[in-house]
Amino acid sequence: MNGIPRRYHAAVWDQPLIMEQGGPGRRGTVPPAPIETAVDALPEGVRRTTPLALPEVAEPDVLRHYLRLSQQTMGMIGISLFGTCTMKYNPRVGELLAARDQLAEIHPHQDDASVQGLLEIVHEFDLMLRELSGMGRFIFQAGGGAAAAYVHACVTRAYHESRGELERRRDVITTAQAHPCNPATAAAAGFNVITLPVERDGYPSLDALRAVVGDRTAALMINNPDDMGIYNPHIKEWVDVVHEAGGLCFYDHANFNGVMGRIRAAELGFDACMFMLHKTFGAPKGGGGPAVGAYGCTPELEPFLPGPLVVRTDAGYERRENAGGVGRVREFLGNLPQVVKAYAWTLAMGADGIREAADISVLANNYMETRLLAIPGVTKSFDHLTARRLEMTRYSLGEYTEETGVTAVDIQNRMTDYGVDAFWLSHEPWIVPEPFTPEAGEGWSKEDIDYWIDVLAHVMEEGRADPELVRSAPHNQVVAQIDTASLDDPARWATTWRAYRRKNEREVTA
Ligand SMILES: Cc1ncc(COP(=O)(O)O)c(C=O)c1O
């Protein structure tokens, strides 16, 4: 790198919540008065008797508020080599498309005839994902990858119940390096979870799988490559073993970036898979709610899908309930603006572009790997394996931590002081000591990747020279270190204004 990393300091605004701003009568826009006849047509029981509890804020206040928030969060255009998430750049044109009146003004209760264009996009995008996976149908109701895994757990339950085998088939098998949402959603759906430990090759052996598969097996839930970037080459045999025992196989395709257009889940024998539109298809990040986990399955499992399904008829497109399905996992058809963004990304890329993006993400990762392993103190997980990692590699700072006392979390905190986004370590369990897993993806330039690596190298040197500087980081961010215990305490977090008020009031009266 030329010189030290760029100087950076976040703007600190101590910004109040938008709900706490403004005052009576302040306005940004004044909507036209309601049409009296339309109001009269509303049944008495559905008319509001009190005004909506919305903040009354003038346009400059609104602009200033969101500009300030973006200044506190690197404007969402920091270098975001997000770990174990196969993130990519979110093209801004997607936002323009989603903000168009034709989409933004649509109401989910409009009749099918008035939303034919949108239903066509949902159907066409479903066809594209079928092409990429070989599955029979996709739905977009789940609000993230974990929610799509939950759809699978519910579909598994319904499938075995329909065959009179649910009481016996209690086990869902996964591996220690599958994403935790796989065991978690299986458990939430009432299954017993069997987690196979990782062995010498970086994944559990086929023998370990055979030892736990049997007539109690309900499903295998797995991602491949796993979150260390290791591809299990025996995956087809795994699927065969589970199928022979009567279980279903679910492919968590969160790590799809390196294999897009190169492998198809159905050809490996899987019964179902999920894609994250916010990780692979250019829609913005946002697991667990504001995103989309696209869930696809073979025709055999289609009767169990949550409805409504979008179907094409001679008369056009329609939403149709799925009578035997597992019921809604979310309202309506899901977050359709994200589907439109992902559809636009897929159309713009085309089949060749998608394959090329997969190749570039693998190339970028391997370029990054070569440079990272040249930094003293960085080692690679399972470094005896000679096969190249795909779109990501898990590294370890274990030796460095022993040398300096500075941990991977400390290094991550300090890197944000140079304008680099967190989080790029690893989810639990930490099989590798002090793990980290940056993902170069296909969306980042060589300069960005180099900057990230240079910052890491610089911060590791800082940690050798002045461990306390790194341990007490971040110093240039909006907030310094926070006590993350609050994240595990539902009494202290709130995802809506109403919940925030309710919880704070409880604190006051407690
Ligand atoms: C392999 C894998 N599966 C599932 C998930 C969960 O996805 P989401 O965050 O959209 O719920 C992740 C998220 O990081 C992941 O890496």
Ligand 1 pocket check for 83: Cβ under 6 Å: no
Atom of ligand 1 nearest to the CA of 252: 3
226 close to ligand 1 (CB < 6 Angstrom) = no
Closest to 190 (Cα-Cα) out of 247, 230, 242, 150: 150
The answer to whether 66 touches 409, Cβ cutoff 8 Å, is: no
343-359 pLDDT tens trace: 999 999 999 999 999 99
Comparing CA positions, the residue from 238, 193, 196 lying closest to residue 216 is 193
Question: 253 C-alpha to center of ligand 1: Å?
Answer: 9
In angstroms, the Cα distances linking 397 to 218, 366, 429, 437 are 38, 18, 16, 11
Specify the CATH number for 362-481; select among 3.90.1150.10, 3.40.718.10, 3.40.1080.10, 3.40.50.300.
3.90.1150.10
Mean pLDDT of 331-352: 96
Q: Tell me the percentage of the chain whose pLDDT exceeds 70.
A: 97
* pLDDT tens figures, 412-446: 999 999 999 888 888 888 989 999 999 988 878 99
Strand-strand pairing, 316-320 and 309-313: antiparallel
Angle subtended by helix axes 116-133 and 336-372, to nearest 10: 30
For ligand 1, the distance from its centroid to the CA atom of residue 142, given in whole angstroms, is 12
- The DSSP bridge partners found for residue 124 are none
pLDDT classification of 259: cutoffs 50, 70, 90:
very high
| Confidence (pLDDT) at 127 | 98
Tens digit of pLDDT for each residue in 122-141? 999 999 999 999 999 999 99
Q: List the single range of 113-117, 361-365, 442-446, 466-470 with lowest mean pLDDT.
A: 442-446
Q: How far, in Å, from the CA of 28 to the mean position of ligand 1?
A: 38
| pLDDT of 84 strictly over 80 | no
Which numbered atom of ligand 1 lies nearest the CA of 276?
A: 10
> 292 CB under 6 A from ligand 1?
no
% residues pLDDT > 90 (the chain): 76
At 86, is the pLDDT very low, low, confident or very high (cuts 50, 70, 90)?
Answer: low
Nearest CA to ligand 1 atom 7: 145
Task: Determine if ligand 1 sits within 6 Å of the CB of residue 90.
Answer: no
Burial 283-294 (b: 16+ CB within 10 A, else e): bbbbbeeebbbb
Per-chain mean pLDDT for the chain: 92
Q: Determine the Cα–Cα distance for residues 425 and 408; give it in Å rounded to an integer.
A: 7
Q: What pLDDT sits at residue 510?
A: 39
Q: Give the tens place of pLDDT for each residue, 204-246.
A: 999 999 999 999 999 999 999 988 899 999 999 999 999 999 9
Residue type present at position 261: G
CB distance 133 to ligand 1 below 6 Å: no
Where in the chain are the domains?
A: 1-72, 115-347, 362-481, 482-510
* CA dist., res. 308 & res. 310, Å (int): 7
Beta bridge partners of 272: 250, 297
Atom of ligand 1 nearest to the CA of 278: 10
For 175-198, what is the mean pLDDT? 96
Q: Domain 115-347, what fold?
A: Aspartate Aminotransferase; domain 2 (3.40.640)
pLDDT confidence tier of residue 406, bands split at 50, 70 and 90:
very high
Res. 69: pLDDT tops 60: yes
Q: Give the lowest-confidence range in 244-258, 273-287, 462-476.
A: 273-287
Return the ligand 1 atom nearest residue 148 CA: 11
Task: Select the more confidently predicted residue: 282 or 169.
Answer: 169
pLDDT recorded at residue 506? 63
Task: Kindly give the number of the ligand 1 atom that is closest to the alpha carbon of 178.
Answer: 1
CB 257 less than 6 A from any atom of ligand 1: no
Q: Ligand 1 within 6 A of 338 CB? A: no
Of 81, 85, 335, 439, best ligand 1 pocket probe by most atoms within 8 Å of the beta carbon: 85
CA of 291 to the centre of ligand 1 (A): 11
342 three-state secondary structure:
helix
Distance CA 140, CA 124 (A): 13
Residue 173 has pLDDT above 90, yes or no: yes
Quote the CA–CA distance of 429 and 270 in Å, as a whole number. 26
SS (H, E, C) 204-247: CCHHHHHHHCCCCEEEEEEECCCCCCCCCCCHHHHHHHHHHCCC
Ligand 1, atom 5: closest residue by C-alpha: 145
Q: How far apart are CA 152 and CA 249, in angstroms?
A: 10
pLDDT tens for 262-308 read 999 999 999 999 999 998 998 987 766 789 999 999 999 999 999 99
CB of 145 closer than 6 angstroms to any ligand 1 atom: yes
Lowest mean pLDDT segment, chosen from 2-11, 211-220, 363-372, 476-485: 2-11
Residue 79's pLDDT band (boundaries 50, 70, 90)?
Answer: confident
For ligand 1, atom 9: residue with the closest CA: 287
State the closest ligand 1 atom to the C-alpha of 427, by its place in the atom list counted from 1. Answer: 14
Is the distance from the beta carbon of residue 146 to the nearest atom of ligand 1 less than 6 Å?
Answer: yes
Number of the ligand 1 atom closest to the C-alpha atom of 227: 1
What is the pLDDT, as a whole number, of residue 4? 66
Residues in the chain: 510
Cβ 177 under 6 angstroms from ligand 1: no
Residues 414, 419: Cα–Cα separation, whole Å: 10
pLDDT over threshold 50, residue 327: yes
Question: What's the mean pLDDT in 375-402?
Answer: 96
Q: Kindly indicate the confidence band of residue 375, based on its pLDDT and cuts at 50, 70 and 90.
A: very high
pLDDT-derived band at 3, boundaries 50, 70, 90:
low
